[in-house]
Amino acid sequence: MKILLGEDDLRLGKLIVHMLKKECHTTDWAKNGEEVFDYLSGSDYNLVILDWMMPGKDGIQVCKELRASGYTKGILMLTAKDALQDRVMGLDAGADDYLVKPFEFEELFARIRSIARRIQHELTDNLLTVGPFTLDLNEHTFSRFGEQMPLTVREFQLLEILMRNKGRVVTREALLSHIWGYDADVTNNTLDAIVKLVRKKVNKDDHIFIQNIRGVGFKLEVDHVLQNP
């Protein structure tokens, strides 16, 4: 895992970094709350470990701001504050787990493994794969036969509902409601235009994956031969 440690205690921080690297975790070390955001702005981390009592923005503030900004990876509070109300406050701020100092490294490593399992599970859940097509619902990316293809928001929404209903016809009414909302004033011509754009990005050679069921709607059909090109 790639881990960012936020800890202002120099002796403890040095020891934690050393032990995490021994466990084969790539680890960076921020000494205060502002540095945590500096590191996060330049790199992506699987887990952020936060000391509550950091100078400037403390761990609770950092945790709240990270979750408010859409950060979905792991956050572990690591602090000497051991009262029940403190643990509740840390978890309510958005932390996945709360470990009280002093601690044993075996327990820290076990809690990191637990958070890693949660992250991996969510990453898997956020991948929608049908044959040669993959939608990353977290990153809003689409790949066709392993090649990244750009999609607009509307195109992404159209392809998502078709992929979730692979082999089944999705009515025009359902598509219009899913993409624009049930009360939106959108015509079938607009839907047809979006479908045409998506077809250009999905179809390969002579294979038509998005089929028009005249008078009803559309469906995604994937030739099994093409699932492993």
pLDDT in tens, 8-34: 999 999 999 999 998 878 899 999 999
- Comparison of pLDDT for 208 and 95, the residue scoring more: 95
* Final residue in a domain of this structure, among 105, 125, 145: 125
Which helix (H) or strand (E) is 127 found in, with range?
Answer: strand 127-130
Is residue 22 domain-shared with residue 42, that is, in the same domain? yes
**For the chain, how far is it from start to end, CA to CA, in angstroms?**
32
Are residues 28 and 49 in contact, defined by beta-carbon separation less than 8 angstroms?
no
- Comparison of pLDDT for 35 and 138, the residue scoring more: 35
What is the overall mean pLDDT for the chain?
Answer: 87
Is residue 10 domain-shared with residue 121, that is, in the same domain? yes
Q: What is the DSSP string of 167-222?
A: TS-EEHHHHHHHHH-TT----HHHHHHHHHHHHHHH-BTTB--EEEETTTEEEE--
Q: Which of 26-30, 74-78, 94-98, 162-166 has the lowest mean pLDDT?
A: 162-166
* Final residue in a domain of this structure, among 125, 159, 176: 125
Place of tokens 């403190």: 86
The count of domains in the chain is 2
Q: How do residues 31-55 score in pLDDT, each as one tens digit?
A: 999 999 989 887 778 899 999 999 8
Is residue 74 domain-shared with residue 90, that is, in the same domain? yes
Is residue 21 domain-shared with residue 110, that is, in the same domain? yes
Domain range for 161: 127-226
Max intra-chain CA distance, the chain:
71
The answer to whether residue 229 scores a pLDDT higher than 60 is no
| pLDDT of 122 | 63
What mean pLDDT do residues 174-198 have?
A: 84
What Rg value do the Cα atoms of the chain yield, rounded? Answer: 23
| pLDDT of 177 | 78
| pLDDT of 125 | 63
| pLDDT of 204 | 73
Share of the chain above pLDDT 90, in %: 47
- Comparison of pLDDT for 14 and 160, the residue scoring more: 14
| pLDDT class of 178 with cuts at 50, 70, 90 | confident
Q: How do residues 118-134 score in pLDDT, each as one tens digit?
A: 877 665 567 888 888 99
What mean pLDDT do residues 83-109 have?
A: 93
The runs of H, that is alpha helices, within the chain are 10-22, 33-42, 59-68, 84-92, 105-125, 153-164, 172-180, 188-202
CA nearest neighbour of 5 among 22, 24, 25, 23:
25
Is residue 171 domain-shared with residue 206, that is, in the same domain? yes
Is residue 147 domain-shared with residue 93, that is, in the same domain? no
Single-letter code of the amino acid located at 80: A
* Angstrom distance (rounded) from CA 106 to CA 216: 59
Is residue 16 domain-shared with residue 103, that is, in the same domain? yes
